[in-house]
Amino acid sequence: MTNPAPRPALRKAPDADVHPARAGDSTANIDLRAAAPTRPAVSRKVAAEGRNRAQVSASDTSLAAADLRATGQLAVPAEPEAEKAAAKEPSKKKDKKNKKGKKGKKKNGQGSARADQRIDVRVAVPRLARHLRNSTPTL
Amino acid sequence: MIIAALSLKGGVGKTSVVLGLAGSAAERGLRVLVVDLDPQANSTASLDPLRTPYTTSDVLYDGREGVAADAIVDSGWGSMVKLVPSERALEHRAQPVGANSALRLRRALSGVADGFDVVLIDCPPSLGELTRNALHAADAALVVTEPSYFAVQGAEQALEAVAVVREHGNPTLRAVGIVANRVRPTLSEHIYRMDEMRAAFGDLVLGGLPDRSAVQQAQGACVPVQRWQSHGATDISRALDSLLVQLVGDHHATVEARPVLTATPSSGEQQ
């Protein structure tokens, strides 16, 4: 009589650190900076919608983006040019309305300082998540 | 016995019923395992485990025979109540994956449930992959509802789901009953809906659990409602004892008379 095979040890799911709101993404390794194209100056509202669409493109979501997989990092792109231009416009109008010399512009800190502002967020994707494609459980 | 507490409508008190039954069973010396299959992890929070190295997300991800044993941890309620905790990442398991995806929990619990007198599965408020896993793993389905129009409709849909799973994959599954939660017997709407349920579902209606704030108070304090010191806690504990007997039978749980508390109830307690 042979002893029964030992029970397998429970495996940890690799996506424990991936927020459920991203459960539908094809991959966690998306370089949002590279995916954001330059856009012409448009209204703030349209620019906001464009920014959301620009964050993911078909080519960049492919798992063939080996560099991104290797580094396991995500980066949120800088604010698109249109967004910055649109953000400036209301302020400019406001400045023109209330402008006395150059006081309004300097008061709000507009101008070159805003153009240089960018958001650069890096998120460390768990090591195991890079192998998500190869770790589909077999039943 | 593996009991899945389900409701297609959220907020009716599935977690409260699961926790209440767990506390009642533990008080009677039954070994209880709570499987938290809700990504909201409310049962997990109230059972207050010291450590959670694995969760139901890992169990369903793995899905192999008996692996759920590695995920069982002690709860803060004492040695008689153990837990397979949940986490928000369980949401990732809410989609079918491969063939027989709905059988993952059943396989993972294989041999594990034998070590407990009662296994209670707290389902999420939807008929998705997680609830399907629960129904394929369970022997009994307890539908939790409340005496309202939408909830009664949800109870009917839940019973239909139980019948479908029984026919297509789990012939041992049976609907053990419908319990109405947070019942206020003085409200005409509640009286009407309870009568409506009895007319529609007959003997399946196991009765109602009274609306008592002690339930939320005990959950917030991470203790069983049976240990909460108030008249409302005594009322709800008696009702839970009665429900437990109906579910697991007299040979497993004998309902003993509870002492009537003489202490003054805390402020805001409903009677």
Per-residue tokens: A54: 């620009």
3-state secondary structure chain A: CCCCCCCCCCCCCCCCCCCHHHCCCCCCCCEHHHHCCCCCCCCHHHHHHHHHHHCCCCCCCCCCCHHHHHHCEEECCCCCHHHHHHHHHHHHHHHHHHCCCCHHHHHCCCCHHHHHCCCCCEEECCHHHHHHHHHCCCC
How many interchain CB pairs under 8 A, A with B? 71
In this prediction, residue A35 carries a pLDDT of 43
Chain B environment of A139 (Cβ under 8 Å) = 63, 97-101, 103-104
- pLDDT tens-digit profile of B108-119? 999 999 999 999
Distance of alpha carbon A25 from alpha carbon A58, whole angstroms: 12
Chain A environment of B111 (Cβ under 8 Å) = 7
In this prediction, residue A28 carries a pLDDT of 42
Å from B181 to nearest chain A CA?
30
In this prediction, residue A100 carries a pLDDT of 52
In this prediction, residue B263 carries a pLDDT of 39
Contact A139 B97 (CB under 8 A): yes
> If we measure between CA atoms, which residue out of B263, B8, B4 comes closest to residue B152?
B8
Q: What is the DSSP string of chain B?
A: -EEEEE-SSTTS-HHHHHHHHHHHHHHTT--EEEEE--TT-HHHHHH--S--SS-HHHHHHH--TTGGGGG-EEETTEEEEEEE---GGGGGGGS--STTGGGHHHHHTTTTGGG-SEEEEE--SSSSHHHHHHHHH-SEEEEEE-SSHHHHHHHHHHHHHHHHHHHTT-TT-EEEEEEEEEE-TT-HHHHHHHHHHHHHHGGGEEEEEE--THHHHHHHTTS-GGG--SHHHHHHHHHHHHHHHHHH-TTT--PPPPPPP-SPPPTT---
Mean pLDDT of B197-216: 94
- pLDDT tens-digit profile of B129-142? 999 999 999 999 99
Q: How many CA atoms lie within 13 A of B127 on its CB side?
A: 15
- pLDDT tens-digit profile of B64-110? 999 999 999 999 999 999 999 999 999 999 999 888 999 999 999 99
Chain A environment of B93 (Cβ under 8 Å) = 13
Residue type, B34: V
In this prediction, residue A108 carries a pLDDT of 47
- Closest B-chain CA to A10: B67
Between B66, B67, B104, which is nearest A139 by CB? Answer: B104
Q: Average pLDDT for consecutive 10-residue bins of chain A (139 residues)?
A: 80 90 56 44 44 43 45 49 52 52 47 50 52 46
Contact A136 B88 (CB under 8 A): no
- Closest A-chain CA to B68: A10
In this prediction, residue B99 carries a pLDDT of 86
Under the banding of pLDDT at 50, 70 and 90, the label for residue B269 is very low
Under the banding of pLDDT at 50, 70 and 90, the label for residue B220 is very high
Contact B89 A9 (CB under 8 A): no
Å from B36 to nearest chain A CA?
16
Per-residue tokens: B234: 């005594």
Q: Which of B64, B86, B110 to mutate to test the interface with A (most CBs of A within 10 A)?
A: B64
Residues of A at the B interface, defined by Cβ within 8 angstroms: 7-13, 15-20, 23, 136-139
In this prediction, residue A80 carries a pLDDT of 52
- pLDDT tens-digit profile of B142-173? 999 999 988 888 899 999 999 999 999 999 99
Å from A117 to nearest chain B CA?
34
In this prediction, residue B217 carries a pLDDT of 94
Chain B environment of A20 (Cβ under 8 Å) = 39, 88-89, 91-92
> B196, B151 in Cβ contact below 8 A?
no
The ipTM estimated for the assembled molecules is 0.77
DSSP β-bridge partners for residue B144: B179
Distance of alpha carbon B66 from alpha carbon B54, whole angstroms: 14
In this prediction, residue A23 carries a pLDDT of 59
Q: Which of B35, B40, B52, B58 to mutate to test the interface with A (most CBs of A within 10 A)?
A: B58
Contact B98 A9 (CB under 8 A): no
* pLDDT more than 70, % of chain B: 92
Question: In sequence order, what are the residues at sequence separation of 6 or more whose Cβ sits closer than 8 angstroms to the Cβ of residue B7?
Answer: B14, B123, B125, B143, B144, B145, B151, B154, B155, B158
Under the banding of pLDDT at 50, 70 and 90, the label for residue B8 is confident
B78 φ, ψ (degrees, to nearest 5): 115, 175
pLDDT of B43 > 80? The answer is yes
